[in-house]
Chains A and B, each alone.
Chain A
Amino acid sequence: MDTIATTKLSGEEIFDLMKKFITEVIGEEFVEEMDITPESSFTKDLEMDSIEIVSFSEKIKAHFGEQIDFTGWLSSMDLDQLINLNLGMIISYIEECQS
């Protein structure tokens, strides 16, 4: 279990953390073939399906705890928005929650 973060992370640190979570969810062998950037979309570029996004969400919740309501944020999106969700949007959301 990840410990709940208390220090404020920079955008770059959040990006590295997200990459770590994605690697844990989909496996290193797939991540090696990908060029993960803040523009990478979850469904199209990273080819993550919804149960993998559930796992990813769980990791974010475990890491940040009450600081952010990640599931609540996702639930405000419609299907098009979820399909187009990219890493940069999550980084911005976490940065906002930290400020």
Chain B
Amino acid sequence: MPIVTVNGKSVHIQELNKGAAETIVLVHGMFSNLSVYYFNIAPLLATKYHVVLYDLKSHGMSEKTLLGYDLESMTNDLLALMEELNLQKVHLGGYSFGGLIALKMVILFPERINKLAVIEAPDPNDDKTRGIIDEYSREFLEHYVENFTDTTKVKMGKRQMERNHRMYEYLFYQTSIKTDMELEKDFFGSPAIETIQKSTLLLYGTDSNCLNAGKHLDGLIENAELIAVPGDHNIPIQQPLVIAEALLNFFQEK
């Protein structure tokens, strides 16, 4: 299992097609891990690009960390990872919370990023987004799994439920993730978003409750293009090939 040390912590990474001239880095979402890209999206992008996937802190197989879940810290981790891998300039994609990290990265380190792809990044000020963080409980997880993950067709067994429960418990009650995210609620209202000049692709699900966030970003970012894909917030799992092809076309356009 490939592990690198970033800011003193172990980070699980996966790299595909290392020899390619250009690199795409993909950032996953909260409570998820790099596997959201690993099986379908990354292999297709790797037909043309060097693709780097990594597990965010306390996610997947990366080391658990108590502090630093605000977007600036998450962005500093990404920059440190790029330094560790000797990546000067990359195309960047992020899904959900990872989309917010990608946006912040472009704001703070525009010289290190070529093009930007944002998939289903939520507005941190949206009550439904923050509600998930505020109202977590085991019952919530069971209800969530029962009612919402059915669109991805994957049912969790007992061991998986326990594993996920432990991860949620850790993130919610031991780390600073709740307070750190609370502080980001005005992110879409900050003038910094409007300074983004990069060519930006916004991919959202037609039935997603984040679609309005995509429309909002489309209005704020000058060189943005919004594409709505059939599906909900889980479009990378529901439509991996559609997402992969949209990303590939976007990164290849001159």
Residues in A lying within 8 Å of B, measured CB to CB = 26, 30, 43-44, 47, 49-51, 53-55, 57-58, 71-72, 74-75, 77, 79-80, 82-83
Contacts A47-B158, A51-B61 given; does A79 touch B152 at CB 8 Å:
yes
Q: CA separation between A30 and B162, bound complex, in Å? A: 13
Contact (Cβ within 8 A) B159 A47: yes
Name the distance in Å between B47's Cβ and chain A's nearest Cβ: 10
Contact (Cβ within 8 A) A54 B38: yes
Contact (Cβ within 8 A) A83 B153: yes
Name the distance in Å between B68's Cβ and chain A's nearest Cβ: 22
Contacts A43-B154, A72-B43, A79-B152 given; does A49 touch B160 at CB 8 Å:
yes
Contact (Cβ within 8 A) A51 B34: yes
Residues of B with C-beta under 8 A to A49: 35, 156, 160, 163
Residues of A with C-beta under 8 A to B34: 51, 54
Q: Closest chain A residue to B44 by CB distance? A: A75
The listed residue (B1, B16, B160) touching A58 by CB distance below 8 A is: B1
Q: Closest chain B residue to A62 by CB distance? A: B1
Residues of B with C-beta under 8 A to A71: 16, 38-39, 43
Contact with A along B116-160 (1 / 0, CB 8 A): 000000000000000000000000000000000000111111111
Contacts A75-B43, A75-B44 given; does A50 touch B33 at CB 8 Å:
yes
Contact (Cβ within 8 A) B159 A75: no
Say whether chain A's binding surface is mostly helix, strand, loop, or mixed: helix
B10 interface residue per 8 A CB criterion = no
Contact with A along B220-254 (1 / 0, CB 8 A): 00000000000000000110100000000000000
Nearest 8 CB-CB pairs, A to B? A50-B35, A47-B157, A75-B43, A51-B33, A51-B35, A47-B159, A51-B60, A54-B35
Contact (Cβ within 8 A) B39 A75: yes
Contact (Cβ within 8 A) B39 A74: yes
Question: Which of B36, B156, B159 is most buried by chain A, counting CB atoms within 10 A of its CB?
Answer: B159
Contacts A43-B154, A47-B159 given; does A53 touch B35 at CB 8 Å:
yes
Question: Which of A43, A49, A51 is most buried by chain B, counting CB atoms within 10 A of its CB?
Answer: A51
The listed residue (A30, A53, A82, A83) touching B159 by CB distance below 8 A is: A30
B14 interface residue per 8 A CB criterion = yes
B40 interface residue per 8 A CB criterion = yes
Name the distance in Å between B31's Cβ and chain A's nearest Cβ: 12
Q: CA separation between A44 and B196, bound complex, in Å? A: 44
Q: CA separation between A77 and B38, bound complex, in Å? A: 12
Contacts A43-B154, A55-B61, A58-B1 given; does A82 touch B160 at CB 8 Å:
no
Q: CA separation between A55 and B35, bound complex, in Å? A: 10
Contact (Cβ within 8 A) A50 B153: no
The listed residue (A26, A43, A51, A75) touching B40 by CB distance below 8 A is: A75
Q: Closest chain B residue to A71 by CB distance? A: B43
Q: Could you list 26 A-B pairs, sorted by A, with CB under 8 Å?
A: A30-B159, A44-B155, A44-B157, A47-B156, A47-B157, A47-B158, A47-B160, A49-B163, A50-B36, A50-B39, A51-B60, A51-B61, A54-B14, A54-B35, A54-B38, A58-B2, A71-B38, A72-B43, A75-B39, A75-B40, A75-B43, A77-B39, A79-B152, A80-B153, A83-B153, A83-B154
